[in-house]
Amino acid sequence: MRFLIIGGDAAGMSAASRARRHEPSLDITVLERTADVSYSACGMPYNIADPANPMDVLVVRRAQVFREKQGINLLTGHDATAIDPAARRVSGVSEGGQPFTIDYDNLLIATGARPILPDVPGSDTPGVMALKSLGDGRAIKAWIETRDVRHVLILGIGYIGLEMAEAFRARGIAVTMIKNRPGFLPWLEEELAAVVQQEVEANQVSLRLGPVLQRIEPGGRLTAVFDTMTVDADIILPAIGVTPNSDIAAAAGIALGPGRAIAVDRQMRTSIENIYAAGDCADAYHMVTGERAWVPLALRANRAGWAAADHACGKPVEVPGITGTAVFKVFGLQVARTGLNVAEARRAGFDPAKTVVTSRSRAHAQPGSSPIYVQMVGDRKSGRLLGAQMVGKDGVAHRINAAATALFVRMTVEQFSQCDLAYAPPFGPVWDPLLTAANQLAKLL
């Protein structure tokens, strides 16, 4: 059997390695258009912050290891451009411009996502640099280290933008962040978002909400022209989101789902037989709503790659879905979420109620104890827990996993409030912040 994989990062290489463990003699080919495979993309902002640390430390396993130790035919510099489902064939162009075609019995599309760039004149000017691939990370770091970079303009305020703001500030670079809509982090509870905004501004990041970018002008420095202002910068970093690399699938007649992600079932099968999709290019089922959702996150990509390989090798498994659990660090704060916020719950047909509480990360007399802010959402009709958000300097990143687990098994708020969570003064108060929120929300429900 010939197992062909398009894309050599998280989902693609997880699938290739998993398939090799299942079938030592399987013919496995991976097409990767860049020179890099199997690296920690999420570590790039932290690496950029550290001038002494080379970007290549983020490589988990080099291409040659896959080739020599696992017998995977990994073809870097190979850009797949078309899929012919009837012929079970993929065509493309190699790094040297040579066309190629490869036949398959089972195909996995693991093409990931790409950054959204501003649709304005000048967005392709040198110095306008998005961060998605390891090559992007190398380019940004090299730009900083070979030029006099004093000011960076970040377009958008999201996970990557905030992590990069911290990275640039760590290197003594002034940062301005501008988004074209009101609301600092509109998906986050207003009280919690205010805490994050205060932390960002306390670290001398200038925030502007509302200006609309008109164009980018080259020169000695870049000039971003907005409808109400102009900003000069040495780097402009678009951080306005990503979009699935699903064009090759759509052109082959494969059905798409939310956000133009490739629609897959719980076994990673697409709408065309013998074609699978996994990673940031594919959708998932949301465990709270039961509906399709596109939430591109690293754990899902790796797990989905495994599942696609299992099924392709005749070992069917089902991946139940996701709860949208995410956490990021911004300066001294940890910011985490899982499940739905109030607006998302209402759109999904629930009758949401929420509570917001302020608790402590440790017992009050313990060194390092600091405030934790928790928002929790439940459904008035069923009593189900629908989501949680947390912000604090200590004890947030792993606490959110308790709420994520509760969502996965569809607990009610009342059931969650009775969970037997661990207690010791160095790690939390007797009533864990999540239990305090659950007790308050149960009263509302």
Active site residues: 42
The β-bridge relationship of strands 78-84 and 230-233 is: unpaired
Q: How far apart are CA 176 and CA 358, in angstroms?
A: 30
Q: How many CB atoms lie within 10 A of CB 235?
A: 23
Residue 312 three-state SS: helix
Coil/strand/helix, residue 353:
strand
What is the 8-class DSSP label of residue 131? Answer: -
Strands (E), 253-323: 275-277, 284-285, 292-293
Q: Which residues partner with 106 through β-bridges?
A: 3
CA 258 to chain CA centroid, Å, is 16
Q: Show Cβ contacts of residue 224 under 8 Å, excluding neighbours closer than 6 positions.
A: 153, 155, 178, 213, 215, 216, 217, 230, 231, 232, 233, 236
- Which letter, b or e, does each residue of 189-224 get, where b requires 16 or more Cβ atoms within 10 Å of its Cβ? beebbebbbebbeeeebebbeebebbebeeeebbbb
Cα torsion 228, 229, 230, 233 to 10°: value is -120
Could you tell me the two tokens for 399?
Answer: 């606490």
**3 state DSSP class of 184:** coil
Question: Which residues neighbour 295 within 8 Å (Cβ) at sequence distance 6 or greater?
Answer: 284, 286, 322, 324, 326
H/E segment holding residue 415: helix 413-417
Cβ(103)–Cβ(73) below 8 Å? no
Q: What does the angle CA 128 – CA 146 – CA 119 come to, to the nearest 5 degrees?
A: 5
Answer for the pair 372, 391: CB distance below 8 angstroms, yes or no: yes
Could you write out the three-class secondary structure of 135-156? HHHHHHHHHHHHCCCCEEEEEC
